[in-house]
Amino acid sequence: MGVAGGGWAIGAVVLLACVLYVLRVYPLVGAGYRAKVLCSALFGSGRDLDTHLRTQISADAYLILRPFRVHVDRTARSVSASFFGLLSRTAVYRDGLGATLLAGPHLVTLGPPVPQRTPVVSSAPAWPRGHGSGALQDVVDAAFLEPQPQRLRRTYAVLVVRDGEIVAERYACGIRPEMPMPGWSMAKSVLNALVGILVAEGRLRLDQRELLREWPASDPRGAITLEDLLRMRSGLRFREQYGNPWSDVLRMLYRSHDMAACAAAMPLIAAPGTAWQYSSGTTNILSKVVRGVVGDAEYHGWPRRALFGRIGMSSATPEPDPSGTFVFSSYMLATARDWARFGQLFLDRGRWKGDQILPEEWIDFSTTPTVQCPEGRHGAHWWVKLNPEIGGDSPAARRIAADAFFAIGHEGQTLSVIPSKRLVVVRLGAAIYIDAWNHAQFIADVQDAV
């Protein structure tokens, strides 16, 4: 074979390898997503693998997931998914730690076992009940309607708390009050609180640099501060694209053993502190920073001791990656009532029944707009304005009290805190089309009805 022929053969082999790699990524990500979501739903939330749940995983924009086959092992509490039997991915459930998607054959388990979650109905004091208006109940009931059959909202739970009392609460068929549900990116705001506790204890500082061993002073990333991470202005590249199987966020969540390491290895594309970019990778780097401060021996049980147990969030279950670091960017389960407890902590400026868990200054810091963020929509791992996709630029958004702030997650999970109205509002569901749920309209209507 001549030089030209050899070059053509090498090129063909390289091209074929690239095509096979590209084709392999989609089933790996798709199988990983399906295995992880179902494992959390079946063994964490206690849902049945019924038509509603199957539809949620493969409907609307998720039609691409229909070829993936699922096997549930209830004895091992694991779920495996594969692309027509190929490239299988497995997620396993562990008491106190939730579901973890395996990126290899083994899990890392550090420290003593985390106590099994005690059902919220028996372990936490019951929420006091207040009196809601008929108008408020109408607004809550309307949240469960489907005005656009082609763009379903799939509301699962709505809870309205005013002055520390539940004034409205409703669940969809098959969803129970004691059922922990995924908050997706609402968990980012929970990590904010855990970081705030360490800052208050003097174990972390907002201006602290060289936060990871991978970022020594000689590395430009060593200049990233704790505040830069909280405000998502690290300058690290991170493509938060969920429709692209090759994006950074999907590689991190569904193909990585150590998600924080995956994000921390990204190159700088801007000087730290100068540019804002929404990044789930930033949150997982923060989670690894927290792990380093707390120490492996205490880490898995520490969120419960430091926060959840102190405010009665007995259902709260953050879920780790295979390396053992909690994936606070995306994975935490809690009941609607426990999500509301977390919101109430921030509404009451960090105090819970006489216990100042977070300094008042931390609440102010968290809800102060980040100047590098367009229109100041984001604070420090809390949203202070709603994005346009969920009604943030609509007339309804202008009716929402100016001091409102929000934890917002995938598929329309929302925790809204409105201090001037003494309101905490939780909405959980599966709005696969992001604009199917108009949160601005809902919150404005709740305000008016209350």
Do 85 and 216 reside in the same domain of the chain? Answer: no
Dist CA 447 CA 439 (whole Å): 12
Q: Where residue 141 falls among pLDDT bands split at 50, 70, 90?
A: very high
- Residue 260 domain-assigned? yes
Mean pLDDT (the chain) is 90
Do 320 and 405 reside in the same domain of the chain? Answer: yes
Q: CB under 8 Å to 130, separation ≥6 — which residues?
A: 162, 163, 165, 166, 167
Q: Which residues span the domain enclosing 43?
A: 3-94
Question: Which of 65, 94, 123 is the last residue in one of the domains?
Answer: 94
- Residue 71 domain-assigned? yes
* Amino acid of residue 42: L
At 295-310, the pLDDT tens digits run 999 999 999 999 999 9
Do 185 and 65 reside in the same domain of the chain? Answer: no
Do 147 and 57 reside in the same domain of the chain? Answer: no
**Looking up tokens 């995983």, which residue turns up?**
57
Dist CA 319 CA 310 (whole Å): 20
- Residue 99 domain-assigned? no
Regarding pTM above 0.85, the answer is: yes
Decide if pLDDT at 403 tops 80: yes
Do 218 and 299 reside in the same domain of the chain? Answer: yes
At 67-124, the pLDDT tens digits run 888 999 999 999 999 988 888 999 999 999 999 999 877 777 665 555 544 433 334 5
Question: Which of 44, 63, 94 is the last residue in one of the domains?
Answer: 94
- Residue 11 domain-assigned? yes
Do 51 and 141 reside in the same domain of the chain? Answer: no
Joined together, the tokens standing for residue 48 give 């049945």
Do 72 and 144 reside in the same domain of the chain? Answer: no
Decide if pLDDT at 11 tops 70: no
- Residue 128 domain-assigned? no
Distances (CA, A) of 110 to 25, 46, 49, 205, 323: 30, 26, 31, 26, 9
Do 72 and 139 reside in the same domain of the chain? Answer: no
At 356-371, the pLDDT tens digits run 999 999 999 999 999 9
Dist CA 190 CA 349 (whole Å): 15
- Residue 116 domain-assigned? no
Of 108 and 398, more confident = 398
Our count of domains for the chain comes to: 2
Question: Which of 94, 118, 150 is the last residue in one of the domains?
Answer: 94
Do 249 and 153 reside in the same domain of the chain? Answer: yes
Of 11 and 337, more confident = 337
At 253-280, the pLDDT tens digits run 999 999 999 999 999 999 999 999 999 9
- Residue 119 domain-assigned? no
At 208-238, the pLDDT tens digits run 999 999 999 999 999 999 999 999 999 999 9
